[in-house]
Structures are given as structure tokens and as C-alpha cells.
Structure 1
Amino acid sequence: MSGGAATGRESVRGAGRSALLAVLASNMLLDAVEVSVMLPAVAGMADDLGLSPWQGQWVMSGFALGFAAVLLAGRQVTARWGRRVPYLVALAVFAAASVVPLLTHDPALIVLSRIVKGACAALTAPVGLAILADAYPDGPERRRAVTVYTLFGAAGFTVGLLVSGTLSSVGWQWAFVFGAPIAVAVLLVAARVVPADTPQPRTPAPAGWWRSGGLARAAFGAAVLNGTYLAMLLLTALTLHGRGWPPWLVALAFLPACLPVALTTPFGGTLIERVGTGRLVVAGASAAAAGQVFAALPIPGGYATQTLPALVLVGLAFVLSFGALNTAATASVPAEARGAAVPVYQCAVQCGAVAMLVATAALATLRGFDDARILVAVVGCAGALTLVLSLIRSSARTPA
């Protein structure tokens, strides 16, 4: 056991450990909220500021861009300064960046604040999980703590939609700002309960870990799944706003695409054990592609006949495959390489979001929403087909 881990575990016990879990889980919830909080607000913001879909989407892709940019540097940061200092600094900067939309309506500064918040989340999310692992001994206690931490993260997307839908009905700025007092409250408690630690040098990963076909396959699948999912939700939010739907109703309309994920997260491990990661990945990618194709078809009617079935299918896709993709990514590399491999995988997930949001919104601006939906469907189908063929080739190379 490393000295830093021992120190952290010895200094956090009893009620202090419960308070630490509450801080880390609350922060994870806040980070996850920021992924979805813009969906009900982006159309109103674009209207007020005179932005096109391509310009408006940067408040979503900017967060993912900041997240991706800092993820790969996280290990170097903690190796130099430990975990406590970067964690607390990132929380403070996150809170400060959250109030920018109250101070200015300059779109560039608002997007910059979202990039900064994404960069902060890229530090607090993985560092928080590492602090949690140090504070709880391996075994049932740690598994329960990680389950709570994961549940808060899974619930964050749904909570972000509902909070944003409520606040954006008053003004879109409040969807940006509401995280500031929460981040300050978490920071004040974290300053008391996050244990001091000693910077630990990075353990070199074994040579060649990055050649893992399983890691590349999982990263590709997760990038396509996340990117097409967010792009489809962005187009849906803009479409519903154009039909006169208020933000709170837009938020409720998205629940079939996200609530099942939050409700089924505790059972993800059991599902993987019974079905297997490969089958779940293929089933999820196929469900996502089916939903995206359905959304692109010229079906007459409104939400109930076209949008709702598509959202149910993409929500099912996340239930089936996102946990399986995470598991496949970590299982495909040696244990000593996972510290280096997981940030690469997570970076790919965020890059998928940036690429698809930018491309989809650009096409929606230039050619219209119908062509943009077709793009999402084509990428989703191509991703599903690529995963199926890759898994078939991998199975064929595996000895019986």
C-alpha cells in the first residue's frame, strides 16, 4: 500500500468518512448535471443572443472539450500536487466560472466558462474516485461507497434536465448559475474532510498497453454512442422549442432517454455477468442506431409518434451498452495499465460528443434539421456495423 493511501485512510474514519462520501458523491452529481443542464436552456439562450444552432451548441460541446483536454493531464497534476489541492482548486474555479453568464451575455465568454467548467470536472471526477478508494478499505465497504458514488453520477443527467427545465422557465442564465452555490457548499465541507496527502510518483504503465484492440473498440463504441446520443437530444431540444414547448416540458420529454439509465445502474454488473459485454455492446449499438433512424424518418405526427419511440430506443441503448463498454475498456488492459488507459477511454467519449455536436449543429444551420438527423443516423448505423464486424473478427481469432 502506498504511503499516500495509508495516510488518507487513517485520517478519515467514522462520521468523517460518511461526510467525505457525501462530498464526493455530491460533486459527482454536480459534474454529471453539467452534461445535461444546457439541453432545456440552449434554445432560449440562442434566441436571446441571436445565435445559430452551430453557435449555440458550443455551450454543450465546450464543456466536453474542456473535459477531454484536461483528462489526459490529470495523472501528471496529481503526481505533482497530490489529490487534495487540485480537487479543492478545481471546485473553487468551477464555482467562479458558473457565475459568468450573470455578469456578461458575451457568447464567447459564456462558452469559455463552459470550457473551464469541463476542465474542472475532468479533475474532480477521477480524483474524487481515487480519494474514495483510498478512504475505504477494499471489500464490502468500498463497494457500497463506489455504488453510492456511481448512483449519484448516473442520476446527474436526469437531475440536470429537471433543474434546468425549471430554472430556464425563469431565465436561461439560471441554468448556468445554479451550480455555483452548490459547488461553494461542497468546497467548504471538502476543505474540512478531504484528507491531506503526499504526491505520489506515477507508476509507469507496461509498454504496448495502448495497442489493446479491446480498448480501442470500447473507446470507439462509447464515443459514437455518447456523441450521437447528445447530438440527437440537441436536435430534439431545438425542435421542441421551435414548436413552442417551454423548457420544463422539454425536460420532461427527455426522461424516457435518461431515467432508465439512472434506475438500472445498480443492476449493471449483474446484467454484464449474465449476458456478457460483447452481446450488450452490440445490442446497445443496434438499439441506438434504430432510434436514430426512427428519428430521421419522415413520420407524420408529433412527439408521441416519432420523438418518444426514438428516445426510448436510445435510452435502452445506454442501459444495455454504456456500462458494458466501460467494463470492456478496463478489462482489456493489464491492471497496472488501467491508470493510463481509463483517461484515454474517457477522453474518447468526450471527443465523440464534441465531434458529433459540432458536425450536427453545423449541418442543421446550413442544410436544416432533417439533414442533421440523417447524419446522426448514418454515424450511429456505421458505428454499430463497425462494432459488430470488429467483434466477429475478434471472436474468430480467439481460440475455442
Structure 2
Amino acid sequence: MVNPFVGFITNRIGYDTPLFCGFCFTFMSAVMVTLANSYALLMVARGLHGIGSCCTSVAGMGLLADVYPDDYERGKAMGFAMSVMAIGLLGGAPFGSVMYQFTGKEAPFLVIAGFALVDGALQLYTLKPLKFSPRNMPLPPYRALLTDPYILIAAGSLCICNLSYGILEPTLTIRMMEYMCSPRWELGLAFLPSMLTFMIVVNVFGMLAHKIGR
């Protein structure tokens, strides 16, 4: 829901401010989870985390595309960024399960909050999040985007890819607990092979796409 809105905002005020907003929402979400004592509060925290993820991913990828106009360099930059994203997305599962088992529920989110603070400090030092830098590029209407066959193919492929991971995330862990009596630290490790292969392949295909076409 928030992704298209963030894309619109980046065109109006630049990339720096949405990136910094992503840090703020992520930090607030991590702190809220450590303090949460109800399902409703956890839902709010997850909602804030989703908004922070939108701000970071949309503005971050847009910034990379803007900084690297050359197609080959852009492919390499996107591949590297996606591999680091894989570390966070898929590596978070084994990291969180091990810490949850041996240090408690709050510890992994306190670590995330600490990382977010470092990220926010680096953004303040490197970027200009408090100063708007409008780009004023003409935006195509959403109707044109939704009828573009290339966008539909890319969006559909991304949907199927993330749907498979979304199905595995809640079902695999429950099945491991019910049928394999797995301890908590093993639940996240089941996603480790996915992270490793993703990191390798996403860099290879960035360069391969430039050579043979996407």
C-alpha cells in the first residue's frame, strides 16, 4: 500500500528524506516489539516496520538507479544491494531464532535498534535528509503502468517469488515444531540455504543480464 506513495514522494522531495524516514520507522518498530505485551501492539509495530521497509527499499533503489546511469554499472550496483538485502531478509531468520533461544525475545530487536541508530547517524553524515531535493521528473499515470506488459510480467514474477517465501515463513517453522520437535534456534537456520544461494545468484544474474538481456 505504501510503496507507490513513497515512489511519488521521492520524485517530489528527493531520496534522502524518505531514506531517513525509513530509519525512523524501523527504529520505532524495533523498540515497540521489545516493549510489546499484546497482539495489537505487535501488529502496530509490524505495520511501522512495513512502512520503514517501503521507504528504505524504494528510495534506496531509486537512488542507486539515479547515481549509476550506465546500464552495466547499474546492474552490478543493484545486484550488490539485493545481496545485502538478502542478508537482512533471510539472514534475519537464523540470527533471530538463535538469539531468541539463548538471550530472550528482546535481544534481537535491541540489536536491530542499535544497527538502525548507526544507520541513521551515517545517513545524517552522508546524505541531507533534512533538505528537500526535488527532481521534478514527469511521472507516468498509474493506468499506463498497470497496462504496461513488461511491468505486469515483472510484478507478477516478483509476486510469485515472494509468495513462495511468504508461505514458507509461517508454515515451515510451525511444522518443524509440531512434527520434528525442533528447538527454537533451528527454526531460523532452515532459511540459511536460501540466503546463501540468493546472495550468489543475484550478483551473477546482474552481470549476466547485461550480456544476454533480461
TM over 0.5: yes
CA distance in 1: counterparts of 2:147 and 2:74, whole angstroms: 31
- Equivalent in 158, 173, 177 of residue 106 of structure 2: 173
Normalising to structure 1: TM-score of the pair? 0.47
CA distance in 2: counterparts of 1:146 and 1:221, whole angstroms: 17
CA distance in 2: counterparts of 1:88 and 1:261, whole angstroms: 27
Give, in angstroms, the shift of residue 252 of structure 1: 2.1
Give, in angstroms, the shift of residue 192 of structure 1: 1.0
Aligned to 1:241: 177
Aligned CA RMSD, in angstroms, stands at: 2.8
Query: Residues 165 and 71 (structure 1 numbering): CA distance in 2 closer, same or farther, change over 3 Å?
Result: same
Residue 204, structure 1, aligned to residue 139, structure 2 = yes
Query: Residues 186 and 148 (structure 1 numbering): CA distance in 2 closer, same or farther, change over 3 Å?
Result: same
Residue 220, structure 1, aligned to residue 156, structure 2 = yes
CA distance in 1: counterparts of 2:53 and 2:204, whole angstroms: 26
Match of 2:170, SS state, is helix
Counting only pairs closer than 5 Å after superposition, residues 75-90 of structure 1 correspond to structure 2 as: 75-90=7-22
Give, in angstroms, the shift of residue 273 of structure 1: 7.0
Kindly provide the amino acid, as one letter, of the partner of residue 200 in structure 1: R
Give, in angstroms, the shift of residue 81 of structure 1: 2.9
CA contact (8 A) 1:101 1:177 kept: no
CA distance in 2: counterparts of 1:209 and 1:88, whole angstroms: 27
Query: Taking every aligned residue pair, what percent have the same amino acid on both sides?
Result: 22
Aligned to 2:120: 187
Counting only pairs closer than 5 Å after superposition, residues 369-380 of structure 1 correspond to structure 2 as: none
- Equivalent in 70, 87, 92 of residue 160 of structure 1: 92
Residue 232, structure 1, aligned to residue 168, structure 2 = yes
Give, in angstroms, the shift of residue 97 of structure 1: 1.8
Give, in angstroms, the shift of residue 224 of structure 1: 2.8
- Equivalent in 26, 40, 43 of residue 111 of structure 1: 43
CA distance in 2: counterparts of 1:176 and 1:94, whole angstroms: 10
Aligned to 2:188: 251
User: Which blocks of at least 5 consecutive residues in structure 1 are unaligned?
Assistant: 1-68, 277-326, 328-400
CA distance in 1: counterparts of 2:211 and 2:74, whole angstroms: 23
Normalising to structure 2: TM-score of the pair? 0.82
CA contact (8 A) 1:158 1:262 kept: no
Query: Residues 116 and 205 (structure 1 numbering): CA distance in 2 closer, same or farther, change over 3 Å?
Result: same
CA distance in 2: counterparts of 1:132 and 1:234, whole angstroms: 32
Which has the bigger relative contact order, CA under 8 A and spacing at least 6? 2
User: Which blocks of at least 5 consecutive residues in structure 2 are unaligned?
Assistant: none
Counting only pairs closer than 5 Å after superposition, residues 71-150 of structure 1 correspond to structure 2 as: 71-136=3-68, 138=70, 142=74, 144-150=76-82
Query: Residues 119 and 237 (structure 1 numbering): CA distance in 2 closer, same or farther, change over 3 Å?
Result: same
Counting only pairs closer than 5 Å after superposition, residues 1-400 of structure 1 correspond to structure 2 as: 69-136=1-68, 138=70, 142=74, 144-169=76-101, 170-195=103-128, 198-205=133-140, 208-242=144-178, 243-269=180-206
CA distance in 2: counterparts of 1:138 and 1:224, whole angstroms: 29
Query: Residues 125 and 209 (structure 1 numbering): CA distance in 2 closer, same or farther, change over 3 Å?
Result: closer
Query: Residues 102 and 155 (structure 1 numbering): CA distance in 2 closer, same or farther, change over 3 Å?
Result: closer
Match of 2:135, SS state, is coil
Query: Residues 201 and 122 (structure 1 numbering): CA distance in 2 closer, same or farther, change over 3 Å?
Result: same
